[in-house]
Chains A and B, each alone.
Chain A
Amino acid sequence: MHVAIVEDDPVIAKAVSTAVREAGHECTWVPDGETAVRQNTLLSNDVVILDVMLPKMSGLEVLSAARDAGVKTPVILLTALGTVTDKLAGFRSGADDYLVKPFAIDELLARIQAIHRRTSNKPTMEIEAGPLQLSLSTKRLSLDGRTIDLTPTEFSILELLMRFNGQVVTRKMLCEHVWAFDWDGPTNVIEVHINRLRGKLDKGREDSYIQTIRGRGYALAID
């Protein structure tokens, strides 16, 4: 997948490019809005990460211009402005997703992947990861062919982890996915469910399917 990041802050651009490349995609850095328009960045990439506050030409202008020209490439907006009004302005200009700075790189990677999948493939009713098979229609998990009972919360958590197999999923993403509320407070409300999931999945195994990435979140690591 070709990803472009239009961002004037070189530190963020460098970090994002590195992370995107390490996730197995190609990444181009475009330093300002004018260059993005001149190089037709939105047309020549699969997903574009676009900063809103850019020198010379704002991200929203770049986006509006491209959408007016009929370019449908999915765009994730990045900005330090996080009020509802700001977000609405972004979506009205034709953004597909919106991330407020500071953000977790893992969340950005997950969103890039989700948005790419959403715009390219049909949603699947089955998710597979190694011996795990999750049926979204019957809400059933089978591990090596045997069915494992999961609570709705556990199911929901595992679903997200399996969708992003091999990637870090943050606590915030999990909260948003499970309870439709991005709880960011001191109490870790995810951990206990992760532990119970491990109890159900990891019987007879030494290491867990679900890894805790300290300070970042959780990741499923199944080839």
Chain B
Amino acid sequence: MPWPSTDVPFLRPIPWGSLRVRLTLLNSAAVLLAMLILLFAVRVGVRTALFNETEQTLLGEVREVAMSLDEFYPSSDSFVASRDLLIAELRRKAKSHRDRSWFVHLLEGADTGGQDGAKTLWASENCPEEILAEPIDEAVTEKVKHSGKHRWARRLIDTHGGQKLYVRIGMPDKVIEQDVDDLTWFLLPIGIGFTLLTPLAGYWLALRATQPIAGILKTAGRLKPTKLGDRLLSRGTNDELDQLSVTINRLLDQVARHVEQQQQFVADAAHELRGPLAAMQNALEVATAKNRSLDSYQVTIEDALGETRHLTKLANDLLLLAEVGNSLGSVFNQACDLSEVVRQTAAMFGATAEERSIAMTIETRGDAIVRGDERQLRQVISNLVDNALRFTPDGGRIDLAVETNTAAHEAIVTVTDSGRGVEPEHLERAFDRFFQAEAARDRGDIKRGGGLGLSICRSIVERHGGRISLDSPGLGLGTTATVIVPLRLVRRMPA
């Protein structure tokens, strides 16, 4: 049965090229490499240690031979007897260390040194030819000599009438190499075990690590623009995946709020459109129900016209809002003097204020040049002044001020009136679309606004990278609207 295209799950079973497999492979490779390096290091270290140890032992042995000779035969009188005893002692040594292939070489050399004078007195049967042929090189040395195949300690142990007695005790390298090889053979199965275990453990770890991702995918797959209730599970571990979940959840919250606001906006807009439409429909229905006087028709038509004008204004405001909202982050190249904007606005409203004995003052300080759309900024200031005029009783005052804060690089415009003020709980909501405090909602009032003025102001100001706020000490104590827009950056011309 074919599925409708929208219902085809976009989550296919995860193929073998998945993150999990890749993690496993990388993990295994890393562990194997580390193990190989470790094994090699152990082998080299053990080998060096064994050789050092052996050399120290060999040196100790020859020292011991020399010492025992001195101890037992301090005089050189009975050299022959002592020599036999020495040979017996050496034979014992060679014998007891046969399993380590130790060899012993006792030789006599002329005082002059050199090969010619060297004569083997006794050598263990395993003493290699190489050693037997080795000339006497130094009288005494504390160092082990190494030929490549063998290493041996050597020492002058006695001097007897121009003849010198030397002893050599040594062993072949291959014995130690054999030990190291034994160690390697011992470690190798462990290494192979690791080699087999690592991918398994790695796969298990990767599975554990990617499991939350599968959860995220599953939940995210369920989300739809119309159904944004689901949230990703946060395990509270505060690791990266948890932070990802929290971040995505925060984004979802924002999207959900935005969607909700848009839906509310559409509902509000429809509601606002229905009012004038209903009024118009009813008035026209009544007018056409029966024959009426010409004057009566005239009144109905004028009423209907008034409502259409209100609808027009509403539609224009909505479009302006959409237009300003769509081009968020747009770049303005035009320089615009806010002081001039405020002066022009004051000129437009000045006579009306004067007529109502409302004192309107302007104070400008600093060059409030910003980057922006002059018409839109004029719309902002006009809306604010219009609000101030509507909510300020005759005889009140409206103060316009333009300042610059060079430190923060901002231009600040304030519109302060002595009007009836705003309830603290309405200060923020006043910028919501269609929000109107009850007194401003009066449909009978010919000065009624559309409820979008401040929303438009905020959209425009934010589009200019600025912010807008209302402030009121309380009901009856006036209102201050503050618009803050970043100053234009003046690039210094290269000299």
Query: What residues make up the interface of A, taking CB atoms closer than 8 Å to B?
Result: 82-83, 102, 153, 175, 179, 181, 183-189, 191-193, 195-196, 214-216
Contact = CB atoms under 8 A, between A and B. Distances in A.
A102 B308 contact: yes
B419 interface: no
A196 B351 contact: yes
Contacts of A216: 305
Contact of B449 (A153, A185, A191): A185
Contacts of A179: 344, 347-348
A138 to B, nearest CB: 23
B344 A181 contact: yes
Contacts of A189: 348-349, 351-352
Contacts of A102: 308, 312, 315
A102 B355 CA distance: 32
Interface residues of B, number: 30
A193 B351 contact: yes
Interface in B309-356: 309, 312-313, 315-316, 319, 323, 344, 347-349, 351-352, 354-355
Interface stretch (B16-24, B81-89, B378-386): B378-386
B63 interface: no
Interface string B416-435: 00000000000000000000
A139 to B, nearest CB: 17
27 contacts: A82-B316, A102-B308, A102-B312, A179-B344, A181-B344, A181-B375, A181-B378, A181-B382, A183-B348, A184-B316, A185-B382, A185-B386, A185-B449, A186-B386, A186-B390, A186-B448, A186-B449, A187-B349, A187-B352, A187-B447, A189-B348, A189-B349, A189-B351, A192-B352, A192-B354, A192-B355, A214-B302
Contacts, number: 57
Interface centre among B302, B308, B352, B447 (most CB of A within 10 A): B352
Contacts of B449: 185-186
B389 interface: yes
Nearest to B322: A83
A102 B313 CA distance: 10
Contacts of B306: 215
Nearest to A193: B351
Given A153-B351, A189-B348, A189-B352, A183 B382 contact: yes
B199 interface: no
Contacts of A192: 351-352, 354-355
Q: Describe A's contact surface by its main secondary structure.
A: loop
Given A186-B447, A214-B302, 4 more contacts: A102-B315, A181-B344, A181-B378, A187-B390
B319 to A, nearest CB: 6
Nearest to B440: A186
Nearest to B301: A215
A5 B150 CA distance: 117
A188 B447 CA distance: 9
B447 to A, nearest CB: 5
Given A102-B312, A186-B448, A187-B386, A181 B351 contact: no
Nearest to B308: A102
B109 interface: no
A204 B108 CA distance: 157
Contacts of B347: 153, 179
Interface in B371-416: 375, 378, 382-383, 386, 389-390
A185 B319 CA distance: 15
Contacts of B313: 184
